[in-house]
Amino acid sequence: MFSCLPVRPSAQAIEYFIENSGAVTAPALTGALIVATGDRSFAILSICVTAWLICFLFYLGALFTIDKDTAHLRSQMTERAKTM
């Protein structure tokens, strides 16, 4: 189903969706934490640290797969160059 979609626009659309989802939910979560704890600085700090930890985990996952992905892309480019 998704094999016919261009890679770059699809990846960018997914990235924007995730970014906008975070932009929408962060204020609501911060407000909920402020109501629950009564401390604004703790709420904002915990949301920021949590977002950084999630990003770190994604980058850590990418670190382990980047070599395989690069080799796969280069083999695809080589095959494509042979057909031209």
For residue 17, tell me if it sits in a domain: yes
Domain count, the chain: 1
Give the residue ranges of the chain where pLDDT is below 50: 1
Give the per-residue pLDDT at 20: 92
Give the per-residue pLDDT at 15: 86
For residue 24, tell me if it sits in a domain: yes
Domain range holding 57?
Answer: 7-83
Give the per-residue pLDDT at 43: 93
Residue carrying structure tokens 């979609």: 5
End-to-end CA distance of the chain: 26
For residue 25, tell me if it sits in a domain: yes
For residue 15, tell me if it sits in a domain: yes
